[in-house]
Structure 1
Amino acid sequence: MRPRLFVALGDSLTEGVGDPVGDGWRGWAALLAAGLGPAQAPVEFRNLAVSGAQTYDVLERQLPAALAARPDVASVVVGVNDTLRRTFDIRAVAERLDRVYAALTGQGAVLLTACLPDPGTMLGLPGVLARPLARRQRAVNTVVHALSGRYGAVHLHAAEGDWVADRGMWSADRLHPGERGHRQLALRFHGLLVEAGVAVGPAPGARAELPAPSRSASLWWLATAGTGWVARRCTDLLPQLGVLAVVEVRHRVWGTGVRLDLAASRAVGVALGGLVVADAAADASAGAADVA
C-alpha cells in the first residue's frame, strides 16, 4: 500500500519563496506535509508550484502531473499573478479554477484552497494604483470562495487578519511570507485539516528558526532583485495600470467610485453564472447521449 500523497499546485507562495532552506525554498506546503500523517507513516510530498505561475499554468502544466500522481490531498493556491497582468480576465480565471478543482476532487483528492491579500496593499502602492489591484484580488477571492464551497474544499481565509499587518510575517520583498508567515499558513491549514479528520500528525512548529528581515534588508531587496521584478511588471502591467489609475481618479472626483466596485461585482457574477450555465449544458448533453 503506497503512502498518502500530498501534491501542491500554485505559484511562488506555494513554491516557498520567502522561507529559505539551504540553496532552495521550503514554504508552508512542505511544513504542512510533515504534519498530515503519523510519524510511523509519513506523507509523501510533491511540490509542483512554480514562481510566476498563473491559473493558466496551473491548468495546462501542473494539473496533468498532479492527476497522473493521483494525490490524496492537493492544494491549489494561485491567482495573484493573474491580477498583475494586463490580460487579467476574471471569467477566464473562474473557468480555469473550476476545471482544476473539478479534476482533482473528481479523483477523490481532498482539496485545499486559500484567499490572499491584495498585492497593492502589501507593496504600499499609492491608493490610485492599489485600489484597482485590490478590486482584482477581491474578484479572485470571491471566485475562490464560491468554487471552494462548490467542491467541498478545505478553505483558508488568509486575505485579512492580524498576520497581514504584522511586518514580521513577511519577507523582504513584502509580497511573500517570511518563515514566520509560511509557518502561520501551515499551522492554520493544519488546524482546518484536523477538524476535517484529514491531518493526524503533529502541528508544524510556530517558532521561526531565522530572524525576520530588517528594514535595511527590504531596501536592499528593492535596490537589487526588486528592481528586476518591478521592471518586468512595468513592461506588462504599468501602462494599463496607469489607465486604471486615471479612471480611478476621475471617478473619485465625480464621486462615482462605487460604480467601479459594482462593475467588478457584476463581472464576478457573470463569470460564476457562466460556469453554472456551462455545467447545465454539459449535463443536458450527457443526458441526451444516454437516451440515444
Structure 2
Amino acid sequence: MTVDSLGARTDVSPGPGTPVGSVRFAVLGDSFSEGVGDRVAGAWRGWAPLLAEGLSADGLSAVGLSSAGPAAGARQTVLLNLAVGGALSRDVDEDQRPRAVAFRPHLASVVVGVNDTLRRTFDIGLLAHRLDRVLTDLDAAGAVLLTACLPDPGRMLGLPPPLARPLARRQRSVNAVVHALSDRYDTVHLHLADDTWTEDRALWSADRLHPGERGHRAVAAGFHRLLAARGLAHGPSPAPEPAQPPPTRAETLLWLATAGTGWVLRRSRDLLPQLLLLAGAELRHWADGTGTEPLDARADAALAAALTATMGR
C-alpha cells in the first residue's frame, strides 16, 4: 500500500463520484457511528464527521451532500457514513461491507456488536466470523482500519445484577473478539470500555446508551490522537467542549418518556423474554450455591471456540 504525506492511498482509483485527490473515509456500524446523541440542525452528526474534519487540512465533504471537489492541489476528506441505528454484525457484513469496499476508502471504521448482545439470537461465533470478513475485505482493499471496544449496555443503564450480568458477559466476549481482530489487522483501536469512559456521565446523552456531543467529541479526539501518532491525521484535533448546550432536565425527561420508551419497547419484544430467561438462570445458580461460575465458564468456552475458529488459535 502506498500512502502519501496526508495519509491518502495512491495505488487505487477513486470511488465513484469522489473528488480526485481526496482522502476517503468509510464508516460502518450502528447508532454509535451514525451519531445518535449528537444532534445538529435536526440531524445526527456524531464523532465520525468531527474526526473527518481533522484528518486533512482542507476540510470535509460528505458523499451525497456535497458535489464540490477540493481546490487544485488540496486534500479533502470525503466521508461515507453507512452506519445505521440498530444495525447488527450481520447488517454490517451483508449490507455495509460491499458498499464500503466499492468506495475504496483510505480509512474505514468498523464499530458494531452492542446490538447483537441485545438479541436472543446472540452468537459470538457468528459475530466473530462476520467481523473478520468485514475487516479482511477492507484490509485487502488497502484501508487503514479503525475499531473500538464499548461498555456493556446493562452497566450503562444501571440494570439490577441478574439482568446486567448476562449483558456484561456478552459484551466482554464481543470486546475480546474485537481486541483479537484489532491485533490481527493492526487497527487503530480505541478502548472505550474502561471506568474513565463509563463513569463520566457528562459524556453520555439522555438515553444513557449513546454518547452526547461531549462524548462524540471525546471519541473523535481519541481516534485523531491515535491517527496523528501514525502520521495519518494532519488537521486540528476536534475541540473537546460542546458547541451546543446540553439537554435540559425537562428535555431529558421528555426524551425518556417518548423516544426512549419507544426504543425500550422495540428492543423488549426481542430481548426481554431472553433476558428474563438469562436472569432466571443467574438466580438459580445463586440459589444452589454455584454463583456465576458455570455461566461464566459457558461464555468463556463459547468465546474460546469463536477465537479458535476465527483466529486459528
Q: TM-score, normalised by structure 2?
A: 0.86
Are positions 1:37 and 2:37 aligned together? Answer: no
Write the deviation string for residues 83-110 of structure 1: whole angstroms up to 9, x where unpaired: 0011100000000000000000111100
CA shift for structure 1 position 276: 3.6
AA of the residue aligned to 1:173: D
2:166 & 2:248 partners in 1: Cα distance?
A: 29
2:81 & 2:37 partners in 1: Cα distance?
A: 16
Write the deviation string for residues 114-159 of structure 1: whole angstroms up to 9, x where unpaired: 0001001111111110110011001000000000100111111001
Compare the two structures and name the one with the higher helix fraction.
Answer: 1
Q: 2:271 aligns with which of 223, 232, 237?
A: 237
CA shift for structure 1 position 211: 2.6
1:247 & 1:209 partners in 2: Cα distance?
A: 46
Of residues 9-18 and 220-229 in structure 1, the stretch that sits farther from structure 2 once superposed is: 220-229
User: What is the match of residue 259 of structure 1?
Assistant: 294
User: What is the match of residue 286 of structure 1?
Assistant: none
For 1:153-172, list aligned pairs within 5 A: 153-172=187-206
AA of the residue aligned to 1:22: A
SS class of match (1:237): helix
User: What is the match of residue 6 of structure 1?
Assistant: 25
User: What is the match of residue 189 of structure 1?
Assistant: 223
AA of the residue aligned to 2:236: P
Of residues 212-221 and 231-240 in structure 1, the stretch that sits farther from structure 2 once superposed is: 212-221
For 1:65-84, list aligned pairs within 5 A: 65-84=99-118
User: What is the match of residue 182 of structure 2?
Assistant: 148
For structure 2, which runs of at least 5 residues remain unmatched after alignment? 1-19, 59-73
User: What is the match of residue 133 of structure 2?
Assistant: 99
AA of the residue aligned to 2:31: S
SS class of match (1:155): strand
CA shift for structure 1 position 221: 1.8
2:301 & 2:85 partners in 1: Cα distance?
A: 31
CA shift for structure 1 position 170: 0.7
Tell whether the 8 Å contact from 2:27 to 2:83 is kept in structure 1 after alignment. yes
For 1:85-234, list aligned pairs within 5 A: 85-234=119-268
SS class of match (1:53): coil
Structure 1 stretches of 4+ with a deviation exceeding 2 A read 211-220
User: What is the match of residue 269 of structure 1?
Assistant: 304
| Count of residue correspondences | 278
Tell whether the 8 Å contact from 1:30 to 1:45 is kept in structure 2 after alignment. yes
AA of the residue aligned to 1:260: L
Q: 1:127 to 1:217 in 2, by over 3 A?
A: farther
AA of the residue aligned to 2:201: R
CA shift for structure 1 position 50: 0.5
AA of the residue aligned to 1:252: W
Of residues 249-258 and 204-213 in structure 1, the stretch that sits farther from structure 2 once superposed is: 249-258
SS class of match (2:85): coil
Quote the RMSD (CA, aligned, Å): 1.4
Tell whether the 8 Å contact from 1:15 to 1:47 is kept in structure 2 after alignment. yes
CA shift for structure 1 position 215: 4.1
User: What is the match of residue 250 of structure 1?
Assistant: 284
1:246 & 1:55 partners in 2: Cα distance?
A: 27
1:179 & 1:263 partners in 2: Cα distance?
A: 38
For structure 1, which runs of at least 5 residues remain unmatched after alignment? 281-292
Percentage of matched positions with identical amino acids: 59
2:99 & 2:267 partners in 1: Cα distance?
A: 29
CA shift for structure 1 position 81: 0.5
Tell whether the 8 Å contact from 1:120 to 1:129 is kept in structure 2 after alignment. yes
CA shift for structure 1 position 263: 1.5
1:189 & 1:174 partners in 2: Cα distance?
A: 22
SS class of match (1:87): coil
Tell whether the 8 Å contact from 1:53 to 1:81 is kept in structure 2 after alignment. yes
Tell whether the 8 Å contact from 2:51 to 2:238 is kept in structure 1 after alignment. yes
1:202 & 1:234 partners in 2: Cα distance?
A: 42
AA of the residue aligned to 1:190: H
Q: TM-score, normalised by structure 1?
A: 0.92
1:162 & 1:217 partners in 2: Cα distance?
A: 26
AA of the residue aligned to 2:268: C
